[in-house]
Structure 1
Amino acid sequence: MRSMPNTNTRNLHELSADIAAVVRDVVATGEDAVITDDGTEVAVIMSMADYDRLHLYAELADAARPGYAGATEFRAMSISEMLDVLGVHPTVDRGLRG
């Protein structure tokens, strides 16, 4: 399991009882909530601002790939690879959370 800054971990089996509180906490604190199933990370709940920013970075990374315009094949990349390509370091506070 990876250790990410600004995250809290929730068990999938316990989540249904307090999903509203988890979402409100994510919005209020800006901390992502990592959801686990039997100890395996399976999902993340994040704020819309972080989601929008992540997709903006993904679009920029796609556009920066050699041969992107008209390319017919794409290579999947993990979020950590994408952040590396973009030079984004997740431990650096950018003051983007509002």
Structure 2
Amino acid sequence: MSTHSLRDLRSHLGSVVREVATSGEEAIITDSGTEIAVIVSMADYERLHEHADVADALRLRHIRTQGFASVPLSDMMEALGVSADEVLAS
């Protein structure tokens, strides 16, 4: 794994991307010392999406087996932090 600042990345993007693609190691991108992004290989990206799809399917199956419960609109609005005045104003 390598770490690159945004400033460094501007002048070395091509080599960083090629290194990630060939090695499979991710590159961490920082801005003022804070990690803000990651560059990953296409294989890792596809693998992450496959795992997310499986997790979504499992979550949906769980929801379907538990059934759905109705929620009063006032409770939903309160949970979302939305007031009736805001809804009427829009």
TM class by smaller structure: 0.5 to 0.7
For residue 45 of structure 1, what is the amino acid of its counterpart? Answer: I
For residue 32 of structure 2, what is the amino acid of its counterpart? Answer: D
Matched residues, number: 65
Q: 2:63 aligns with which of 61, 67, 83?
A: 67
Please state which structure has a larger fraction of its residues in helix: 2
TM-score normalised over the length of structure 1 = 0.61
Q: 1:42 aligns with which of 27, 32, 36?
A: 36
RMSD: 2.0
Runs of 5+ consecutive residues of structure 2 not aligned to the other structure: 69-90
Q: Secondary structure at the match of 1:18?
A: helix
Quick one: higher RCO (CA 8 Å, sep 6+), 1 or 2? 1
TM-score normalised over the length of structure 2 = 0.66
For residue 32 of structure 1, what is the amino acid of its counterpart? Answer: E
* Identity between Structure 1 and Structure 2 (%): 50
Rg larger in structure:
2
Runs of 5+ consecutive residues of structure 1 not aligned to the other structure: 1-6, 72-98
Q: CA shift at 1:68, angstroms?
A: 6.3
Q: 1:18 aligns with which of 12, 33, 50?
A: 12
